[in-house]
């Protein structure tokens, strides 16, 4: 029985299925660009623009199902990585009351991304925060500043703390999982 399973695994060539999946390569390239963006509010909007259509298409559920049919244990790490990637797609995707408040098929814009509700800062659109960048860099938060030589600003709270942490978490997680998925079978 194990010999038959090994033969089926070789004939099924699951790595071909992974390599043929253009969504993975597209996602990797786009996420690498997002990682390099210095303005994290713009980066979070771009992340949602990349993730939302993938979420609308079901993410990687079809590939996961296809690989599970060919799996005899040899694909467990790749299927696990795809499942984690699927979680990133879900968690960074559309949500009626979340950060990305678009509906399925709707274009993500800075007017539909909401940031705030941190450190007593009201929730506003990404467009609002972007339009007031220079002003918000001058609004100092004495209640959050521990070192007077490095004051915390409202811009920092939204751009670096909220948007930056969200982008970093998802970008690093996505790239890590894609690395596992794309790793050639030994």
Count, in order, helices (H) and strands (E) of the chain. 10, 2
pLDDT at 183: 83
- By CB atoms closer than 10 A (0-12, 13-18, 19+), residue 105 is exposed
Q: What are 99's two structure tokens?
A: 């950060």
What is d(CA 115, CA 34) in angstroms, rounded to the nearest whole number?
Answer: 18
Residue 183, classed as helix, strand or coil, is coil
Residue showing tokens 């049919």: 69
Angle at 92 between CA 49 and CA 39, to 5 degrees: 60
pLDDT at 22: 84
What is d(CA 18, CA 117) in angstroms, rounded to the nearest whole number?
Answer: 39
Instruction: Measure CA of the first residue to CA of the last residue in the chain; give whole Å.
Output: 22
- By CB atoms closer than 10 A (0-12, 13-18, 19+), residue 180 is middle
Is 186 within a domain? no
pLDDT at 148: 85
Q: Tell me the residue length of the chain.
A: 186
Q: Which domain holds residue 159?
A: 2-181
What is d(CA 159, CA 133) in angstroms, rounded to the nearest whole number?
Answer: 9
Average pLDDT of adjacent 10-residue blocks, the chain of 186 residues: 52 61 91 98 98 95 91 90 95 93 97 96 98 95 89 95 97 96 68
Q: What are 122's two structure tokens?
A: 């009201």
Q: How many domains does the chain have?
A: 1
Phi-psi region of 59 (alpha: psi -120 to 50; beta: other; left: phi over 0): left
CB neighbours of 16 closer than 8 A, spacing ≥ 6? Answer: none
Angle at 136 between CA 130 and CA 141, to 5 degrees: 140
Is 150 within a domain? yes
Residue showing tokens 């690093």: 172
Q: What are 25's two structure tokens?
A: 């390569």
Is 97 within a domain? yes
């Amino acid at each position: 029985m194990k010999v038959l399973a090994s033969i089926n695994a070789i004939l099924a060539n699951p790595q071909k299925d992974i390599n043929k999946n253009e969504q993975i390569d597209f996602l990797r390239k786009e996420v690498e660009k997002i990682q390099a963006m210095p303005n994290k509010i713009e980066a979070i909007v771009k992340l949602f623009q990349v993730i939302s259509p993938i979420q609308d298409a079901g993410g990687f559920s079809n590939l996961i199902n296809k690989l599970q049919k060919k799996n005899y244990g040899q694909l467990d790490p790749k299927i696990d990585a795809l499942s984690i990637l699927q979680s990133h797609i879900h968690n960074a995707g559309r949500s009626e009351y979340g950060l990305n408040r678009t509906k399925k098929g709707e274009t993500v814009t800075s007017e539909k991304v909401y940031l705030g509700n941190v450190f007593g800062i009201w929730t506003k659109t990404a467009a609002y925060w972007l339009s007031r960048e220079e002003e918000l860099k001058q609004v100092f938060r004495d209640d959050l500043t521990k070192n007077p030589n490095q004051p915390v600003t409202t811009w920092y709270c939204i751009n670096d703390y909220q948007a930056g942490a969200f982008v970093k978490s998802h970008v690093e997680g996505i790239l890590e999982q894609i690395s596992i998925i794309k790793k050639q079978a030994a």
